[in-house]
Amino acid sequence: MYVSYMREKTMKILGIETSCDETAAAIVEDGRGALSNVIASQVDLHKPYGGIVPEIASREHLLKIIPVIKEAVNNAGIGLKDIDGIAVTYGPGLAGSLLVGVNVAKSLAMSLELPLYGVNHLKGHIYAAWVMGDPPEAKAAFPFVCLVASGGHTELLLMRNYRDFTLLGQTRDDAAGEALDKAARILGLGYPGGPAIQKAADGVCSKEQMPRAWLRGSLDFSFSGVKTAVLNKARNLGLLEGKNRTEAQEKTARELAAAFQESIVDVLVNKTIAAVKKTGAHGVIMGGGVTANLLLRERMIIAADGLPIIVPSPSLSVDNGAMIAAAAYFENIPVGPDGLNLDIVPSLSIA
């Protein structure tokens, strides 16, 4: 059975997300079922720089946040008066970006006299699994192993129940997404790196081998070694930056991308399954931008050998407002709202 708070009417939460480079807002009813989910991506603005420029990100959030919220409310077919609570990411993330969302959320909560809920972005990635379709506990009983893999984080957690998380392992250096973004830049494949590497590797049968850091049975991760390996190979082959390449060099770049993707996916899958074996969990929940990766999804399902793998659609794996509204419903509502003194915590940890 899944949680159902006894209420006379459903609870519609506006979820606001501005922690990184997506300005996002959504209306979610009772933590499940997004009535709307609007995302304004800044990818094209940051592309020329090969990565996120924090100053550009926060300025763009300022321009987009009100239109995005209006669109989310309109698309849901409701008015502001129908909203029952305001949820917003208060960390982790870029300080200037977080400030935009948190201040808009506070203003709305104050003017509409609604409860305000500060949400941990990483928990949002986990609760994205509740937003559409059957909830995870309809597929397997608690506990779940959760793999959160994004641009800034790679974490394994044991979720024993709602609001009950234990950290099992985390990256000791680069996050998986960060490594993918850096490798794509090294190989001249573009930004953001995860989708660029997935595309470049598609259909490529690579004989290249990239290292894997197993860390002697630990559930921690390390991706800096494989990043250095791709840098050294690309340098030796004259592939850096991707300028004026021959057709053969393009092919080699795609082979290196495929081998790199294999290495990252192999480590993520093996450590997640090791966490399941260690904890006796009944299923796996995957969240965060990297879990949009098709090879990762495919390999995880194969390695799980029948154990339920719960992963939201790719549009809910990347940053969005619906996951923030869902997390508020399950995590924040039972303990009550935050005050209007809610502040950003850029280095907020997950557990």
Contact 289, 323 (CB under 8 A): no
Question: Does residue 292 belong to the site contacting ligand KG4 (CB under 6 A)?
Answer: yes
Question: Does residue 151 belong to the site contacting ligand KG4 (CB under 6 A)?
Answer: yes
Question: Does residue 150 belong to the site contacting ligand KG4 (CB under 6 A)?
Answer: yes
**Least distance from C-beta 114 to ligand KG4, angstroms?**
26
Question: Does residue 201 belong to the site contacting ligand KG4 (CB under 6 A)?
Answer: no
**Least distance from C-beta 92 to Zn ion, angstroms?**
9
β-pair partners for 37: 26
SS3 126: helix
Beta strands in 66-120 (DSSP E): 85-91, 116-120
Q: Which of residues 141-160 bind Zn ion (CB under 5 A)?
A: 150
Cross-sheet strand order for the sheet of 85-91: 34-41, 22-29, 12-17, 85-91, 116-120
Pairing of strands 85-91, 116-120: parallel
**Least distance from C-beta 191 to ligand KG4, angstroms?**
8
Question: Does residue 193 belong to the site contacting ligand KG4 (CB under 6 A)?
Answer: yes
* Cβ closest to Zn ion, residue 307 vs residue 351: 351
Contact 327, 129 (CB under 8 A): no
Question: Does residue 198 belong to the site contacting ligand KG4 (CB under 6 A)?
Answer: yes
Q: How far is CA 102 from CA 48, 62, 67, 143, in A?
A: 28, 11, 16, 32
Burial class of residue 3, CB neighbours in 10 A (0-12, 13-18, 19+): middle
181, 255, 262, 338: residue in contact with ligand KG4 (rule CB under 6 A): 181
Question: Does residue 96 belong to the site contacting ligand KG4 (CB under 6 A)?
Answer: no
**CB-closest chain residue to ligand KG4:** 194
Question: Does residue 91 belong to the site contacting ligand KG4 (CB under 6 A)?
Answer: no
**Footprint of ligand KG4 (CB under 6 A):** 20, 150-152, 177, 180-181, 192-195, 198, 288-290, 292-293, 318-319
Please report, as ranges, the residues that interact with Zn ion according to CB under 5 A: 150, 319
